[in-house]
């Protein structure tokens, strides 16, 4: 981690400042730290800092391939952070990454791992866990993909997914406030927790907003509602209700009830004929 090119150093930053600058390098770094733009990393790094905003951007075609790879290996559906205006807010993703590293102590994957970190794609390991979390910025929304160890139980998956969701929600709120996108006194949030919509195109995905009160999700484009699938369950706060059967065929041992006309006594019937 200490030799990673993702880290910049205070003395290098100082060399870019003019002699007549009103700010010293450390003053500027302190502003970055306060605004969740950068975070200090590594005990042996000296004055090393990590700033996601200065990383390279993974091109769209490669990003699509990475997403397909993640969908292919993960049994848990990705969680989506969507935005009411249809677009993510400038700087929010990078600030979220800094929060996860700085406040929650999520660990960056090594640079020479299978997935290299970019400004719009970053992979973490949760502390004291083999749970791998990949965050992707798709401009219109953020995706959170998780990969659990094969020997972990579904109950453990749900516990870790809830931990990840809570961390993402807290990070988004902190970043919104730091970047002045949200007044802490206001209840309305510009972001919403969602899933990838079932009617979505894999190469051009859109989201479906989680409606946990009504126990389904709503497409952001057609407003059609879809039921949750088992792959969504680890992210949800309550169990998915059982689905009603599409049709209700009679069981083999269920008696067949057929309406029959009422029967009259034989004597009453004869009287009716005589009259």
pLDDT given for residue 102 in this prediction: 92
Q: Does residue 244 form part of some domain?
A: no
Same domain flag for 44 and 98: no
- pLDDT tens for 181-200 read 876 666 567 788 999 999 98
Whether 40 and 76 share a structural domain: no
Instruction: Indicate if the pLDDT at residue 45 is higher than 60.
Output: no
Pick the range with the lowest mean pLDDT from 41-45, 62-66, 109-113, 260-264: 260-264
**Pair 21, 98 in one domain:** no
Give the bridge partners for 169, in sequence order: none
User: What pLDDT does residue 108 have?
Assistant: 84
8-state DSSP, 54: G
Residues 27 and 163 in one domain: no
Residue 246 lies in a domain: no
Asked if residue 261 belongs to a domain, the reply is no
**Within a domain: 152:** yes
- Please give the residue range of the domain that contains residue 35: 7-50
Q: What is the pLDDT of residue 166?
A: 95
pLDDT at 213: 79
In a domain, 95, yes or no: yes
Distance of CA 213 to the CA centre of its chain: 19
Q: Higher confidence at residue 189 or residue 60? A: 60
What does the pLDDT read at residue 271? 36
CATH number, domain containing residue 115: 3.30.310.200
Q: Are residues 17 and 73 in the same domain?
A: no
Residues 111 and 227 in one domain: yes
Burial of 228 by CB count in 10 Å (0-12 exposed, 13-18 middle, 19+ buried)?
Answer: buried
Count up the domains in the chain and report the number. 2
Pairing state between β 79-83 and 141-147: antiparallel
Q: What is the pLDDT of residue 74?
A: 84
Measured CA to CA, the distance from residue 44 to residue 259 in angstroms comes to 85
pTM of the model: 0.78
User: So what's the pLDDT on residue 10?
Assistant: 58
State whether 139 and 16 are in the same domain.
Answer: no
Q: Kindly state the helix (H) or strand (E) to which residue 73 belongs, with its residue range.
A: helix 60-73
pLDDT band at residue 275 under the 50/70/90 scheme = very low
**Residue 270 has what pLDDT?**
46
Q: 96 and 230 in one domain?
A: yes
pLDDT band at 255 (very low <50, low <70, confident <90, very high): low
> If pLDDT is split at 50, 70 and 90, which confidence band does 263 have?
low
Residue 254 in domain: no
Q: Indicate if 87 and 163 belong to the same structural domain.
A: yes
Are residues 80 and 159 located together in one domain of the fold?
yes
* 26 occurs within a structural domain: yes
Residue carrying structure tokens 């769209």 = 60
**Band (77; pLDDT cuts 50, 70, 90):** very high
pLDDT tens sequence across 153-176: 667 788 899 999 999 999 999 999
70 and 113 part of one domain: yes
- Tell me 96's DSSP state: H
- Residue 94 CB neighbours (<10 A): 22
38: enclosing H helix or E strand? none
pLDDT at 3: 34
Domain identity same for 128 and 196: yes
**pLDDT band per the 50, 70, 90 thresholds, residue 24:** confident
Residue 136 domain-assigned (yes or no): yes
């Amino acid at each position: 981690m200490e030799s990673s090119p993702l880290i910049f150093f205070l003395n290098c930053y100082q060399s870019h400042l003019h002699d007549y600058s009103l700010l010293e390098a450390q003053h500027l770094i302190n502003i970055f730290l306060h605004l969740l733009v950068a975070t200090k990393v590594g005990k042996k790094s000296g004055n090393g800092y990590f700033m996601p905003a200065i990383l390279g951007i993974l091109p769209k075609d490669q990003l699509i391939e990475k997403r397909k790879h993640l969908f292919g290996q993960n049994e848990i559906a990705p969680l989506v952070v969507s935005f009411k205006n249809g677009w993510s807010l400038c700087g929010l993703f990078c600030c979220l990454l800094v929060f996860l590293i700085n406040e929650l102590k999520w660990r960056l994957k090594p640079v020479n791992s299978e997935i290299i970190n970019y400004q719009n794609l970053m992979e973490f390991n949760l502390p004291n866990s083999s749970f791998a979390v990949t965050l992707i910025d798709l401009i219109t929304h953020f995706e959170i993909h998780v990969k659990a160890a094969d020997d972990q139980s579904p109950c453990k998956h749900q516990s870790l997914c809830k931990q990840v969701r809570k961390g993402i929600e807290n990070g988004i709120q902190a970043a919104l406030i730091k970047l002045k996108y949200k007044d802490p006194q206001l209840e309305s949030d510009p972001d919403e927790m969602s899933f990838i919509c079932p009617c979505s195109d894999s190469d051009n995905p859109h989201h479906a907003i989680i409606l946990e009160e009504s126990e389904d999700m709503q497409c952001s484009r057609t407003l059609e509602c879809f039921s949750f699938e088992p792959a969504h369950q680890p992210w949800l706060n309550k169990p998915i209700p059982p689905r009603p059967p599409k049709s209700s065929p009679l069981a083999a041992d269920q008696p067949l009830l057929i309406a029959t006309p009422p029967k009259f006594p034989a004597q009453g019937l004869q009287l009716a004929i005589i009259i």
